[in-house]
């Protein structure tokens, strides 16, 4: 396995025609189909970089920016943005093209964290990344920020869970669109 690899060594594009069986009740392409393709392209990109089997550890927010129509050609471009020790952040950009008009629209962007797994079924070290452009440097640095923000968020979430106070929480919900309807005999429990 090489110690360092350039981003170009694992850049992957997956193109798929949106057929009628992929549509939802509203006639647009089901979000789950796009998510499935994103997972596939993230896997191929991560497996190319790490020369082996990978698993999806986490998926960042996926905003559906525009609907995808039946008959459009969807292209998913994936590249390794950041590598840690055993994890890789794969940036994915999804474009949908109307084949009649050639109009293209950007429908999704997301970041998948993939972890390389060795023969012992444990996370294994991945090659470092050779950054050859300003964009490579920006993406690597943003990936590092994303990883740190996630760590901080997880820590904060664990603290909130620890200090969870149902009575205080009920007060904050007073002006929300919910009704608290606990059974008379039960006391509130935390999860």
How many residues in the shown chain lie near ligand COA by CB under 6 A?
12
Q: Which SS3 state, helix, strand or coil, does residue 139 take?
A: helix
Window 56-85: contact mask with ligand COA (x via CB under 6 A): xxx-------------------------xx
Structure tokens at 44: 């191929």
How far is it, in rounded angstroms, from Cα 129 to Cα 147?
Answer: 16
**Shortest separation between residue 169's beta carbon and ligand COA, angstroms:** 26
Q: Which burial class, exposed, middle or buried, applies to 144 when counting CB atoms under 10 A from its CB (0-12, 13-18, 19+)?
A: middle
Which residue minimizes CB distance to ligand COA?
84
Q: Is 13 in the site for ligand COA (CB under 6 A)?
A: no
Look at residues 52, 177, 185, 44 and name the one whose alpha carbon lies nearest to residue 123. 52
Which parts of 99-158 interact with ligand COA (CB under 6 A)? Answer: 113, 115, 123, 150
Q: Which residues bind ligand COA (CB under 6 A)?
A: 55-58, 84-87, 113, 115, 123, 150
């Amino acid at each position: 396995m090489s110690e360092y690899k350039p981003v170009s060594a694992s850049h992957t594009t997956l193109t798929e025609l949106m057929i009628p069986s992929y549509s939802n009740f509203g006639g647009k392409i089901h979000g789950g189909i796009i998510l499935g393709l994103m997972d596939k392209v993230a896997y191929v990109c991560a497996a190319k970089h790490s020369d082996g089997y990978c698993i999806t550890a986490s998926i960042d927010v996926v905003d559906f920016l525009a609907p995808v129509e039946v008959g459009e050609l969807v292209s998913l471009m994936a590249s390794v943005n950041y590598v840690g020790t055993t994890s890789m952040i794969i940036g994915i950009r999804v474009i949908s093209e109307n084949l009649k008009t050639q109009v293209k629209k950007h429908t999704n962007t997301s970041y998948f964290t993939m972890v390389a797994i060795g023969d012992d079924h444990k996370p294994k070290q991945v090659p470092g990344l050779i950054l050859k452009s300003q964009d490579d440097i920006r993406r690597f640095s943003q990936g590092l920020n994303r990883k740190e923000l996630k760590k901080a968020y997880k820590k904060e979430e664990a603290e909130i869970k620890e200090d969870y106070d149902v009575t205080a929480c009920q007060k904050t919900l007073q002006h929300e669109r919910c009704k608290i309807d606990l059974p008379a005999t039960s006391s509130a429990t935390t999860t």
